Amino acid sequence: MRNLLLLVFILPLFAISQNKIQGIVIDSKTKQPLPFASIVTNTNFGTLTDIDGEFYIITKNSFHQITVSYVGYKSVTVPILISDKFISIKLEASIENLNEVLITAKENPALQIIRNAIKNKPKNNIEKSLNYFKFNTYNK
């Protein structure tokens, strides 16, 4: 009985000592969720958002901020308050202009090899070059 009472009083202490934060990551303009965005706390603990852009972090260490990053968007560091249980994080698209690329086609080197083989076929004909070698050929 004594062990049961001890367990009942100590178990809630473990639950209270955990930090929980839940939220969603969305695009700032379209308000669409961003799936698989990277969420990292200042304790180097992290997670990814799910297909709906939602995340849930439970950790024993306390953290005061999280950094959210997503491909094609600017990374954001958000301060976390103790009272925050659900937060909505909006990411802005990062527009990057790339230099133009010029693509030019070159001839396939195999074509030159085939042309040389056809051009030199009479020189390499074994029937004409080796008169001491005799054999029968069958052609359909």
- pLDDT band, very low/low/confident/very high, at 12 (cuts 50, 70, 90): low
**What does the pLDDT read at residue 7?**
55
The side-by-side arrangement of strands in the sheet containing 65-69 is 46-48, 38-41, 65-69, 76-79
Main-chain dihedrals φ then ψ at residue 33, nearest 5 degrees: -70, 150
User: What mean pLDDT do residues 43-60 have?
Assistant: 87
Q: Tell whether 73 is covered by a domain.
A: yes
Q: Which domain holds residue 61?
A: 2-91
Q: Is the pLDDT score of 11 beyond 70?
A: no
Does residue 74 lie within any of the structural domains? yes
Inside any domain, residue 111: no
39 located within any domain: yes
Residue 51 in any domain: the answer is yes
Residue 68 lies in a domain: yes
Q: Tally the C-alpha atoms within 13 A of residue 83's C-alpha that lie toward its C-beta.
A: 0
Q: Please indicate, yes or no, if residue 115 is contained in any of the structural domains.
A: no
For the cut 80, the answer to whether the pLDDT of residue 14 exceeds it is no
Residue 117 to residue 113: CA distance in whole angstroms:
6
What value does the mean pLDDT take over residues 12-21?
63
pLDDT value of position 100 = 92
Q: Which CATH number does the domain housing residue 27 bear?
A: 2.60.40.1120
pLDDT at 99 over 60: yes
Residue 62, in any domain of the structure: yes
Give me the number of domains the chain comprises: 1
